[in-house]
Amino acid sequence: MDDWGTIPELVRASAERYADTEAVVEGRTRITYAELGARVERAAAACLAGGVEVGDRVAVWAPNSLDWIVAALGAVSAGAVLVPLNTRFKGAEAADVLRRSGARLLFVTGTFLGTSYVASLRRAAGAGAADGPAPLPGLPALERVVVLAPDAPPDFATWKDFLAAGEGVPACEVRARADGLSGCDVSDLVFTSGTTGRPKGVVITHAQTLRAYEIWADLAGLRTTDRYLIVNPFFHTFGYKAGVIACLLRGATMVPQPVFDVDTVLANIAAERISVLPGPPTLHQALLDHPARDAHDLSALRLVVTGAAVVPLRLVERLRAELGIGTVLTAYGLSEASGIVTMCRPGDDPSVIASTSGRAIPGTWVRVVDASGVPVPAGVAGEVLVRGFNVMRGYYADPAATAESVTPDGWLRTGDVGVLDAAGNLRITDRIKDMFIVGGFNAYPAEIEQLLGVHPDVADVAVVGVPDARLGEVGKAFVVRRPGSVLTADDLIAWARREMANYKVPRTVEFLPALPRNAGGKLMKGKLRGH
């Protein structure tokens, strides 16, 4: 595994190999790979000046931007473990992940989509006993907060001031820190909620990341001449690794887009001659159906990689016929397997691309087993298991959860139900974990139920995914009110919008006198899905 090197080695190699190639385009800002490499080294120097040590957790809570790329790669080049935070999180959700990870440094955006992330975090973590001079008393391990903006509160640092503090660190010291890392060192900690609703940090190494996305870039056919619109959020593996890391591997140009807005996507594709546009099917559907689509020159588009939901055959056919996209691929992955497990190959029949997620990537194995763990024949549904270099090192500080998810002989239990065909193509049919996907984002019922259960008028609650024409699936909550409560569906939905990320908020609420449970007290969600 160590032969695959490290992310700072990749950044340096890209800066040399693709020196004059445009690396990142953000509005009027255009920088080459050589300039990106220099910015990352400067951020790494600032991390060293700030006391970041190898293995320290450094979090980034910000939308897709050049600063996100530089801050994240700078931290990783200083030997830190990157902890990306979901931009849809509210303050309490972000504080929980910061607390669990023990992050020492946080890079946070200023105001995004009308919300002050700093103020949100202060409300959630600005109270409580501190063990030291932490800027947020409720997060004693968090020693420093850097705001990726020109202004910051007095106890936080601006991005400019943070970078300036690293100017006295010699370049040889920064290089030495990076050179001391190995492929076996942990590169990132992505928190993903399980069926218990308790966020768990997935531990992935440098070598796993580089090997997985070298394969991704190879199977997708990513080229140095490509211009890649990265709409998938950087806090997600699809955005950071299939986006930033893959582009670094191939020298492709990154055009980060902070918010999915179809008008902006169309404008960017035309203005920047975008050739690569991965994303969930909802993104591509919105593009095809936009009334002003034909007013934009989309002729440079040549590659689409999608997944995260059922892909209609009609969508694949329309992308090829109406937009002339030569390569449309689907893939399947999960954070616990470095974000990639199976992938279609260029040249696969459209029906294979639409009905399956392709075959196991090189260096990995996929099997489908029954409840006893015995492999089932092709065409028979069962739980999907994965083994190979891509399987996580475990859940951070949670050996019990790790033992539940990874068998003693190294098979990762995905919790997904799937079917393999005779050619080894995988089709996901259901989710043992009850997870549903809202516009490309994983929503976990247990976590949402836990959050809704805090409401003073909610006595009992269950959440299931239901079909939605636009987003694929959305949440529906079944609620038992407390005696005497007059809580309405609108009241609860409005409350939920203040307490949780938008994709988690149930779109409908149905009140019941009691939830259906079996003799053992276990909730029978199958009955609820029939409502």
Q: Angle of helix 445-452 relative to helix 489-499, nearest 10 degrees?
A: 110
Residues 6+ apart with CB under 8 A from 429: 381, 417, 418, 419
Residues 410 and 287 reside in one and the same domain: yes
Average pLDDT over residues 111-128: 86
pLDDT of amino acid 129? 41
Average pLDDT over residues 451-468: 90
Residues 82 and 143 reside in one and the same domain: yes
Among 201-215, 297-311, 440-454, name the most confident range: 201-215
**Is 244 part of a structural domain of the chain?**
no
pLDDT tens digits along 284-341: 989 999 999 999 999 999 999 997 556 778 888 999 999 999 999 999 999 999 999 9
**Is 243 part of a structural domain of the chain?**
no
Judged against a pLDDT cut of 70, whether residue 410 lies above it is answered with yes
Provide the greatest CA pair distance for the chain.
69
pLDDT of amino acid 131? 46
Residues 469 and 377 reside in one and the same domain: no
Please give, one letter per residue, the 3-state secondary structure of 223-273: CCCCEEEECCCCCCHHHHHHHHHHHHHHCCEEEECCCCCHHHHHHHHHHHC
pLDDT of amino acid 199? 80
- pTM exceeds 0.75 for this model: yes
**Is 443 part of a structural domain of the chain?**
yes
Residues 169 and 51 reside in one and the same domain: yes
Number of structural domains (the chain) is 3
- Phi/psi for 454 (5° steps) reads -75, -25
Contact (Cβ atoms closer than 8 angstroms) between residue 274 and residue 255:
yes
Residue ending a domain, among 162, 187, 202, is 202
Judged against a pLDDT cut of 50, whether residue 520 lies above it is answered with no
How many Å apart are CA 205 and CA 338, to the nearest integer? 9
**Is 250 part of a structural domain of the chain?**
no
Average pLDDT over residues 140-152: 95
Write the CATH number for 395: 3.40.50.12780
Contact (Cβ atoms closer than 8 angstroms) between residue 417 and residue 465:
no
Residue 133 token pair: 């001079």
Residues 59 and 132 reside in one and the same domain: yes
Look up tokens 């329309």; give the residue: 318
Residues 145 and 70 reside in one and the same domain: yes
pLDDT of amino acid 363? 97
Write the CATH number for 173: 3.40.50.980
**Is 231 part of a structural domain of the chain?**
no
Residues 22 and 113 reside in one and the same domain: yes
| Coil vs helix vs strand at 12 | helix
How many Å apart are CA 90 and CA 307, to the nearest integer? 26
How many Å apart are CA 93 and CA 91, to the nearest integer? 5
Residue ending a domain, among 159, 179, 202, is 202
**Is 230 part of a structural domain of the chain?**
no
Residues 158 and 27 reside in one and the same domain: yes
Residues 409 and 469 reside in one and the same domain: no
pLDDT of amino acid 293? 96
Binning pLDDT at 50, 70 and 90, where does residue 208 land?
very high
pLDDT of amino acid 59? 98
Judged against a pLDDT cut of 60, whether residue 18 lies above it is answered with yes
Residues 471 and 383 reside in one and the same domain: no
pLDDT tens digits along 237-267: 999 999 999 999 999 999 999 998 999 999 9
Residue ending a domain, among 170, 202, 234, is 202
Residues 449 and 399 reside in one and the same domain: no
Judged against a pLDDT cut of 60, whether residue 195 lies above it is answered with no
Using a pLDDT cut of 70, give the percent of the chain over it. 95
Residues 455 and 391 reside in one and the same domain: no
Using a pLDDT cut of 90, give the percent of the chain over it. 78
**Is 61 part of a structural domain of the chain?**
yes
pLDDT tens digits along 30-82: 999 999 999 999 999 999 999 999 999 999 999 999 999 999 999 999 999 99
Binning pLDDT at 50, 70 and 90, where does residue 519 land?
very low
Please give the single-letter amino acid code of residue 22: E
| Coil vs helix vs strand at 92 | helix
pLDDT mean across residues, the chain = 92
Containing structural domain, residue 22: 2-202
pLDDT tens digits along 474-505: 999 999 998 899 999 999 999 999 999 999 99
How many Å apart are CA 33 and CA 518, to the nearest integer? 60
Pick the residue with more confidence: 441 or 374?
Answer: 374
Judged against a pLDDT cut of 80, whether residue 115 lies above it is answered with yes
**Is 133 part of a structural domain of the chain?**
yes
Write the CATH number for 511: 3.30.300.30
Pick the residue with more confidence: 195 or 232?
Answer: 232
Judged against a pLDDT cut of 70, whether residue 196 lies above it is answered with no
